Structure 1
Amino acid sequence: MSTLPTGVVIGVAVLLLGISGCSSAPVNVAAEVAVGAPAAMPADHATRPALGTDRTVHPAESWSAPDSGAKVSHGSGIVEFVGSSSITAIAAHSDLAVRGTVTAVSYTHVDGQPYTLSDVKVSEVLAGDAKVGDLITIVQPGGYIPLRIELATGQIDRSRVDPSLTQAEIDASFNAYHWDGQRFPEVGDDSIYFLTELTKAKAKSVVASTSLTGTYFRGWSDAGQFRATERNGGEAFTRHVDPAEVVPGDPDTGATISVTRLREVAQQIQS
């Protein structure tokens, strides 16, 4: 895993776009995070036994995905970004690179900005301070957020909401913010993640709150996550990347993807 000079600055930004029927002015959250040199790759990362530790973080105000009876309006967003989506560059800016399986998904907010929380059980450690079996919480921008919270925090003005809605109907309404073409995490997802540990200082810088201290931020949009899939006769990992990288589209979804294997990711982390 190559290192860049200490003090390299990663740019992180969130732009949540308006939703039809209850739109508001674009919401912007911007932060800069200075990340030091990443940890060295453990030589025995795939084989060392460990019981693991529960390191999950659950904010006081969080909720599950709305049930089938709730009214959900969908918007789109442009999420985290960094100058390069190459594995080597992303790894150089990461505190932790792990493979893990999602065990639970919930949602929270910071001043009306929605975030998705995935509890992930670590199955392999590619770089950084973690053990196989650890349970960690990964946070990423976007997700489901109750309309009542957006109204209460001023993210949506009441004048932009259907005046015929009762308070009970508002309480049962959610907005969903996500990057175009992407889905929210689901229990059972098996992925490789590149993560920034949110210490108290970094949490305040990245998400403008210390409420998510102890979580791990999944940056670089989907360029920082590789999802396991069966492809080309064996296990492989895919990620959605910038169309400018000109990667063949997924025949099932038409999405622009990059396909690689675990050993290839590990090699690029070390390069």
Structure 2
Amino acid sequence: MMTRFGVHDLTVQFGGLRALDQVSFAVEPATFVGLIGPNGAGKTTFMDAVTGFTPATGTVTFEGHDLSRVPAHRRIRTGIGRTFQTLELFEDLTVRENLTAAAEKSTWWSPLVDLVRPRPSRAAAEAVEDALSRLRIEDLADVLPPDLSLGQRKFVTVARALALRPRLLLLDEPAAGLGTSEALAFAARLRELVEEGLTIIMIDHDMGMVLKVCDEIHVLDFGRLIASGDPEAIRQDPRVIQAYLGVDDDPAAAEAAEAAEAAVGPENGPVR
């Protein structure tokens, strides 16, 4: 089976600050991957580097192709989709129109086509309806963003990325601001996309949700990859506990580990 996505020695330098330091890992198709770490660990920088928004050294590969020197707009066309932390939508356009704006491919002759055929292409219209259906938000298609709840806006943001028909989807804190039960329901819907064959890499600060929904997790701290593994291995990794809680290998660390484990509820299995 071909590796869907991989980075090797991915490094981002901002002057004297190394925001990402030789990060390497690979992701198989139809895998739900969590990318976690304390604030300032380099998580969003990682996504910026992968999608070409931030200059980086090292290599980024997707489905056997080296994208390291490929500009951002062309990386999207290879099948990589992304959301951002901000939920910026076109407030005066309906949900369907917001998705259409993302799905419609622009070319130099697009303005001429719009003069003759001022409506979405068939491919774009089909992609939009498919995205709405996969997230089960068809009932929101004709709603304007100001009338959406926060949770609904989260779904629309993901649907907008899905309208590009990606095979790899990068999500930057998609559940931020949601309550625990709402976040888990949102994550379960994302899990369904993975079961359908989509590969997802997700940043989120909700450790409980990440540990429940992801197949594998990578942990960054000060730009370095300090741990990789399945949720159980990450939950017990002392380097992860130290990075999050700032504890050393002493009796207090054991108490902190127990507290962290209690917070994420190890007795519950992953969301499927």
Greater strand percent: which structure?
A: 1
Which range, TM-score by smaller chain? Answer: under 0.3
Calculate the TM-score normalised by the size of structure 2: 0.25
RCO higher in 1 or 2 (8 Å CA, sep ≥ 6)?
2
